[in-house]
Amino acid sequence: MNAHPTREADFDLYALGALEGDEKLALELHLAECAQCARKLAEARGRIAMLALAAPRVEPSPAVKHRLMAQVRADAEARTSASVAPASSRLPQSREHAPGFFDRWRTAIVVPAFALLAIATIWLWSQNRKLDNELAYLHLQMKVQKSLAQEAQDVASLVESRDTVTVPLAQQPGMPAGSAQVMYNAKMGMLMYEGEIAPAPPAKSYQLWVVPADGKPISAGVFSGRPDHWMMKMPPGVEPREFAVSLEPAGGMPQPTGPMVLIGRA
% of the chain with per-residue pLDDT over 90: 28
pLDDT digits (tens, 9 = 90+) for 106-153: 555 555 666 677 777 777 777 777 788 888 888 888 887 887 777 778
If one compares 141 and 97, the residue with the highest pLDDT of the two is 141
As a whole number, mean pLDDT of residues 245-262 equals 94
If one compares 219 and 35, the residue with the highest pLDDT of the two is 219
Q: Same domain for 15 and 43?
A: yes
Q: Same domain for 106 and 212?
A: no
Q: Same domain for 229 and 126?
A: no
Q: Same domain for 204 and 127?
A: no
pLDDT for position 64:
54
Q: Same domain for 205 and 144?
A: no
pLDDT digits (tens, 9 = 90+) for 194-212: 999 999 999 999 999 999 9
Q: Same domain for 228 and 142?
A: no
Domain that holds residue 34: 1-78+98-160
pLDDT for position 94:
44
pLDDT for position 103:
54
The per-residue DSSP string of 53-121 comes to: HHSPP-PPPHHHHHHHHHHHHHHHHHHHHHHHS-GGG-----TTTS--HHHHHIIIIIHHHHHHHHHHH
Q: Which residues contact 166 (CB under 8 A, 6 or more apart)?
A: 181, 182, 183
Domain closes at, from 160, 180, 208: 160
Q: Same domain for 70 and 8?
A: yes
Q: Which residues contact 160 (CB under 8 A, 6 or more apart)?
A: none
The per-residue DSSP string of 68-79 comes to: HHHHHHHHHHHH
pLDDT for position 245:
95
Model confidence at 224: pLDDT above 50: yes
* Count of the separate structural domains present in the chain: 2
Helix axes 35-54, 9-16, angle to 10 degrees: 60
Q: Same domain for 205 and 120?
A: no
Domain closes at, from 144, 160, 176: 160
pLDDT for position 91:
44
pLDDT digits (tens, 9 = 90+) for 66-89: 666 676 667 667 766 655 555 444
pTM exceeding the 0.75 threshold for the entire prediction: no
DSSP state of 236: T
Q: Same domain for 42 and 108?
A: yes
Q: Same domain for 109 and 214?
A: no
Does 87 fall in a domain?
no
Model confidence at 54: pLDDT above 90: no
pLDDT for position 133:
81
d(C-alpha 264, C-alpha 266), whole Å: 6
Q: Same domain for 11 and 110?
A: yes
Domain closes at, from 137, 160, 183: 160
